[in-house]
Structure 1
């Protein structure tokens, strides 16, 4: 007989007529499947009391296209809190086509940072967002200044924005994104009231204004007077 290192028999209860999910009314049931990202009313299969404060609820996605199993993890310490799901499918952020065309590396690096954030690695994902921003700005600058490729590649990002970005909206948002991005790499933060959400918002704004500039440039070239 195989002996398990941990005896789960006393800590697991299957959800059935004798032990309905209503008995665990304090647990906030998931309303989204972390695998397929669709809104659901999950099938609850079993409850695992991992410790005196941690409870795991095994759920099933009822969608035929998915049908995946996942755990919802709760902490019961004075009040019950839904901590996380696992496994969790990583979601990619989509960017406008013109942004992907000028800087595919930006999209790749940004989404790697985005995946890290989804894994809860909030102390390191900001560095990735900062690196992605550098690729975006420098690839845009190189696209408009092909004779200065090596100079742009080696130039500090702040100087690159000041020298090669003429559009005020792009420059304003990119400079502020750089400030917050630098905070993510330094021991002491200069912008204590701002966080990773603000950095991502500023990158989004930079992407938006860059996208508008690239679209406008395209139509100017295609529809000359």
Structure 2
């Protein structure tokens, strides 16, 4: 979740010019956020830091959202811990959800992690969602047993099931490789977790769109009449 940092004038000398975060977009209406802000309560957690609950009233929709943040006065930038309500989750193609309900669940779990800034967890979650979708699709549309499909590593599953499907293979490999980078102890040099996550999600959308196209072809709403049938 992208945020902007503002400065709030408060009465306490130590907390004067306190910096706090505001979500870029209102989680209620999705419009660029320039809310009225107020500290509703706080707890002094020590180490020159307070745990604060802030309310934010969006001028576009008039609704409130709330954030939980670590504030450090004017000493350093604040840390966003939680936003309520959460940013709206991505709506999924009903055909894909029907094929792989756990894919939707895992994708949304990754999305929630992303929304609070846990990009490493989000990257690993999106990779896991990809593997779930690939294997659920294979169970439905190949003759291989569930046990055999379960035994494939993600790299091998992609190479095996999509060796003749460049769009599916390339997009899945990008998600796999970037997803591995989030999980590995030794990340690549100058690894920007937020920027990489944007690329990973773009290729995951390409792959899920490809799966959606295959499901549409496999289950058309109408079909060509048999040549022997009457017109």
**Cα contact 2:67–2:84 (8 A) shared by 1:** no
Q: Report the TM-score when normalising by structure 1.
A: 0.68
Deviation at 1:34, TM superposition (A): 3.7
1:124 alignment counterpart = 121
What RMSD in Å do the two structures reach over aligned CA positions?
Answer: 4.1
Q: What are the within-5 Å matches in structure 2 for residues 42-57 of structure 1? A: 42-45=35-38
Find 2:132's aligned residue among 128, 131, 135.
Answer: 135
* C-alpha distance in structure 2 between counterparts of 1:104 and 1:93, whole Å: 14
Structure 2 portions without partners, runs of 5+: 1-9, 226-231
Q: What are the within-5 Å matches in structure 2 for residues 98-109 of structure 1? A: 98-109=95-106
Find 2:181's aligned residue among 164, 180, 183.
Answer: 183
For residues 74-126 of structure 1, what are the alpha-carbon distances to aligned partners after superposition, in whole Å with 9 as ceiling and x for unaligned? 77759x96764854322322121121121111110111111112122223222
1:16 alignment counterpart = none
2:214 alignment counterpart = 213
Bigger fraction of residues in strand: 2
> Which gives a bigger RCO, structure 1 or 2 (Cα 8 Å, sep 6+)?
2
**1:158 paired to 2:155:** yes
Find 1:61's aligned residue among 46, 53, 57.
Answer: 57
Structure 1 portions without partners, runs of 5+: 1-8, 13-23
Q: Secondary structure at the match of 2:185?
A: coil
Aligned residues: 204
Q: Report the TM-score when normalising by structure 2.
A: 0.67
Moved more, 26-35 or 176-185: 26-35
Find 1:110's aligned residue among 107, 111, 124.
Answer: 107
Distance 1:32 1:160, change over 3 A: closer
Find 2:66's aligned residue among 63, 67, 70.
Answer: 70
* C-alpha distance in structure 1 between counterparts of 2:205 and 2:110, whole Å: 14
Deviation at 1:147, TM superposition (A): 3.7
